[in-house]
Chains A and B, each alone.
Chain A
Amino acid sequence: MDRRTVIKNLALIIGGAALLPACSQDKAKSKVALKNIDISADQEQLIGEVSETIIPKTTTPGAKDLLLHLFVLKMVDDCYKKEDQQAFVAGGSHFADAVQKQYGKTFDQLDAKTRELFLLDIEKEIQAEMLEAAKRDSATVPRFVGKYSAETRKFYSMVKRQTINGYTNSKYFMTNIVVYELVPGRYNARFPYKLKQAV
């Protein structure tokens, strides 16, 4: 079973979950115009911090520099099914609650290292879940139960997938890291390649 199927199955079980109220006191709306999901400024900021933890600013631009968190919101708003969008919104709250419960702080109050460890912890659980799902017949729904809620895992998966999608398809990445050519003009079918030459 591939990652897509797992996500689809997750969506199936999450589909019926009630939308949990956002635990934000600040009811200011997100900066991007969204049609389908209701995101507060707080939630937008959380997504920004998670994206920035996934793709941080180093000697090269990070998620915030490239406005990847706004891209994540745009993709969630336009390109996902309704049940995925609902899980995403609920998952943002679950995520914030899990941080609070584990550290007694909000995500942006954590130092960079702790943020990474927290995300990696969720990621470990997603991988365990996928491993378990792969062992089952694809028609059955995964029964994985973990420390984090299914919505939290879903939220994190969507933020990560779209952060990387936005990053690897950004103008910055495609003109500096890999060079995308609109018009290569050539096709060399037999081109020498030396191992490690590219690193």
Chain B
Amino acid sequence: MANLNIDSVKDRTFDAIVIGSGMSGGWAAKEFTDKGLKTLILERGRDVKHIKDYPTTNMYPWEFEHRGQLPMAIQEANPIVNRCYAFGESAAHFFVKDAEHPYIQDKPFDWIRGYQVGGKSLLWARQTQRWSDFDFEGPARDGFAVDWPIRYKDIAPWYSYVEKFAGISGNRDGIAELPDGEFLPAFPLNTVEEYFSKHVKSNYKNRYVISARCAHLSTPNQIHLDQGRVQCQRRTICERGCPFGGYFSANASTIPWALKSGHATLRPFSVVESIIYDDKLGKATGVRVIDTNTKEAIEYHAKVIFVNAAALNTNLILLNSKSHRFPNGLGNDSGVLGKYVAFHNYSAHIGAQYDGAKEWTTDGRNPAGGGYIPRFRNVYKQETDFLRGYASGFSAYRYPERSWDGVGSSLKNNLANKELGPWHVGSHMMGETIPKETNFVSLDDKQKDAWGVPLLKMNVDYDDNDEKMKKDYIEQLTEMFTSAGFTNIQASTDQRAPGLDIHEMGGARMGNDPKTSILNKWNQVHSVKNVFVTDGASMTSTSCQNPSLTYMAFTARAADYAMSEMKKGNL
């Protein structure tokens, strides 16, 4: 252990340590520093400063050397991340390259990562829906996973709290399975999306097509201006980083907010090797960090530690935090750490054409991406032969039909054609997968990464439930499309590996019973009270709604609880 200089221990001691600076870590940092706690934010990747470090953000399409496409050498060197839709010439610098951070695929798993300040919050698709009691009560009712230790009423005020600060656009739709929130004005549905919405509402019970709810400032409030963010400019090139702060990212919002307080220390290039547990004190005393530039090992200390490294890396850190008391990983008395990993199933799509509404089009761009169909299967009762259900995206669009046939001036005329073709409609499935003990991650006992941390091994797969659900999605959407008068309907599935949805969850799940879960209802490790996990690793089940908003709400709630416990002297 290098440089464990006694004089500097004081400099390396904080009130709180937050591991990770992305979607949830940014919130922990903000909450602690708002209350004046001296907080260390650890990030394994490089620093990315809002605006300053968005090198492509103001580039025109013709300014990209390959017009957006990545050179073949980069694609071939990165077969995993190359499968991600956003890995292109304009945003490749925010993605982890395959060779730099290896892992072991005992079963195929496309692990898409962003190692930098802000993490994947620079790259997300910004869809934000609350989860409801149909999700939190699901496991207890349907008999999968374990019962959630909380209900919607526990988290609802915290959804409101984070929504107001992050800025969420949407309509108050009054749908029980998709609770309303503190919304900025929604981005409206276009003519054909609206048509389909009305059609579905009048022809189906409990099925809705609503305007997608998203983390964009359609109309900013004062709190957003105070963060230095302004109105979303409808550029829809968000994955480059937004100079307007038009969408929520840790880089534009929580991290600079925490730094402005004067109470935060941000330390990039810091891989957390493990959490240090003191057998005598019976609690964690700090974390062991490897500086990625110098390979130096450094220990930092704090009263409370928040683990927000992103679901699977959080599992890795906990599994690698071994002590006399916890030989199988921190807080792992139950042996379930790393198990019950689940994800979302995005592997089915459907497209069609609509020959009506030709007198309408759209102008500008919609950052919400169109419509959202909340889960309608097995909501009020179990009605199919598979557990849980799926939400769906839905959008309609028109574009000029430009034939590439021929050569010469006729081709030039075709390419310049501004006349629009018919409306096209499309949908993709967003299915819930069931957490199972057989879906797990573990540490390899031999192979280590460049910083001496064991490699993570993936054993996560689809099952029969996913196949049945996929089939049902295609049947139901085909029927809804047909009855709406859409034509040329084409459904397709792809053979993607788990992970590509970028919604991996679980492994350190919450639960009432320490024998079957790692965290209690406050996201607090059952047996190590001063360690909290509030990212995707803590999810007991996965819902079919996007998870980021829920991570934010859990984090703010857990930070508030941790601070009140600190005040009482309980941590």
A residues contacting B by CB (< 8 A) are 53-56, 58, 60, 74-75, 78-81, 112, 116, 119-120, 123, 160, 164-171, 173-174, 177-178, 180, 182-196, 198-199
Smallest Cβ distance from A196 to chain B, in angstroms?
A: 7
A182 adjacent to B363 (CB under 8 Å):
no
A74 adjacent to B66 (CB under 8 Å):
yes
From known contacts A174-B60, A184-B233, A190-B191, infer whether A119 and B365 are also in contact, taking CB-CB under 8 Å: no
Smallest Cβ distance from A94 to chain B, in angstroms?
A: 19
Say yes or no for B389: interface residue by CB 8 A criterion: no
Bound-complex Cα distance A79 to B89 (A): 11
- Which residues of B in the span 38-91 have a Cβ within 8 Å of any Cβ on A? 58, 60-62, 65-67, 69-73, 76
- Which residues of B in the span 195-240 have a Cβ within 8 Å of any Cβ on A? 233-235
Checking B71, B234, B235 against A79 with a beta-carbon cut-off of 8 angstroms, the contacting residue is B71
B415 adjacent to A191 (CB under 8 Å):
no
Q: List 13 A-B contacts (CB under 8 A).
A: A54-B408, A56-B409, A60-B412, A74-B66, A78-B73, A81-B76, A123-B407, A160-B407, A169-B67, A189-B188, A189-B191, A191-B363, A193-B360
Nearest chain-A residue to B368 (Cβ)? A187
Smallest Cβ distance from B507 to chain A, in angstroms?
A: 38
From known contacts A186-B364, A187-B234, A196-B419, infer whether A58 and B412 are also in contact, taking CB-CB under 8 Å: yes
A187 adjacent to B366 (CB under 8 Å):
yes
Give chain A residues whose Cβ lies under 8 Å from the Cβ of B73. Answer: 78
Bound-complex Cα distance A35 to B443 (A): 41
B66 adjacent to A79 (CB under 8 Å):
yes
Checking A116, A183, A187 against B407 with a beta-carbon cut-off of 8 angstroms, the contacting residue is A116
Say yes or no for B12: interface residue by CB 8 A criterion: no
A55 adjacent to B412 (CB under 8 Å):
yes
Checking A177, A188, A198 against B362 with a beta-carbon cut-off of 8 angstroms, the contacting residue is A188
A187 adjacent to B235 (CB under 8 Å):
no
Smallest Cβ distance from A18 to chain B, in angstroms?
A: 22
Give chain A residues whose Cβ lies under 8 Å from the Cβ of B566. Answer: none
Checking A60, A180, A183, A198 against B61 with a beta-carbon cut-off of 8 angstroms, the contacting residue is A180
Bound-complex Cα distance A60 to B415 (A): 13
Give chain A residues whose Cβ lies under 8 Å from the Cβ of B360. Answer: 190-193
Give chain B residues whose Cβ lies under 8 Å from the Cβ of A183. Answer: 233-235
B416 adjacent to A78 (CB under 8 Å):
no
In which size bucket is the chain B interface?
35 or more
From known contacts A56-B409, A119-B407, infer whether A184 and B72 are also in contact, taking CB-CB under 8 Å: no
Q: How many residue pairs at the A-B interface have CB separations less than 8 Å? A: 133
From known contacts A78-B66, A174-B60, infer whether A187 and B415 are also in contact, taking CB-CB under 8 Å: no
Nearest chain-B residue to A187 (Cβ)? B364
Give chain A residues whose Cβ lies under 8 Å from the Cβ of B194. Answer: 189-190
B363 adjacent to A79 (CB under 8 Å):
no
B359 adjacent to A78 (CB under 8 Å):
no
10 smallest A-B Cβ distances: which pairs?
A198-B418, A186-B364, A188-B363, A191-B363, A189-B188, A187-B364, A193-B361, A78-B71, A184-B364, A189-B190
A189 adjacent to B66 (CB under 8 Å):
no
Given contacts A189-B190, A193-B358, 19 further A-B contacts (CB under 8 A): A54-B407, A56-B409, A78-B65, A78-B66, A79-B69, A166-B67, A178-B416, A178-B418, A188-B363, A188-B364, A189-B188, A189-B193, A189-B362, A190-B188, A190-B191, A191-B363, A194-B359, A195-B419, A198-B418
A195 adjacent to B358 (CB under 8 Å):
yes
Bound-complex Cα distance A123 to B408 (A): 13
- Which residues of B in the span 130-156 have a Cβ within 8 Å of any Cβ on A? none
From known contacts A74-B65, A79-B69, A170-B62, infer whether A187 and B365 are also in contact, taking CB-CB under 8 Å: yes
From known contacts A75-B66, A196-B419, infer whether A191 and B58 are also in contact, taking CB-CB under 8 Å: no
Nearest chain-A residue to B73 (Cβ)? A78
Interface centre among B358, B359, B416 (most CB of A within 10 A): B416
Smallest Cβ distance from A176 to chain B, in angstroms?
A: 9
Smallest Cβ distance from A140 to chain B, in angstroms?
A: 19
Say yes or no for B351: interface residue by CB 8 A criterion: no
Nearest chain-B residue to A194 (Cβ)? B359
Say yes or no for B175: interface residue by CB 8 A criterion: no
Give chain B residues whose Cβ lies under 8 Å from the Cβ of A165. Answer: 67
Bound-complex Cα distance A81 to B62 (A): 23
Smallest Cβ distance from A100 to chain B, in angstroms?
A: 20
Checking B61, B71, B420 against A193 with a beta-carbon cut-off of 8 angstroms, the contacting residue is B420
From known contacts A53-B407, A182-B58, A187-B362, infer whether A198 and B419 are also in contact, taking CB-CB under 8 Å: yes
B66 adjacent to A182 (CB under 8 Å):
no
Nearest chain-B residue to A177 (Cβ)? B416
A180 adjacent to B234 (CB under 8 Å):
no
Bound-complex Cα distance A75 to B68 (A): 11
B420 adjacent to A184 (CB under 8 Å):
no
Say yes or no for B547: interface residue by CB 8 A criterion: no
A185 adjacent to B72 (CB under 8 Å):
no
Nearest chain-A residue to B69 (Cβ)? A79
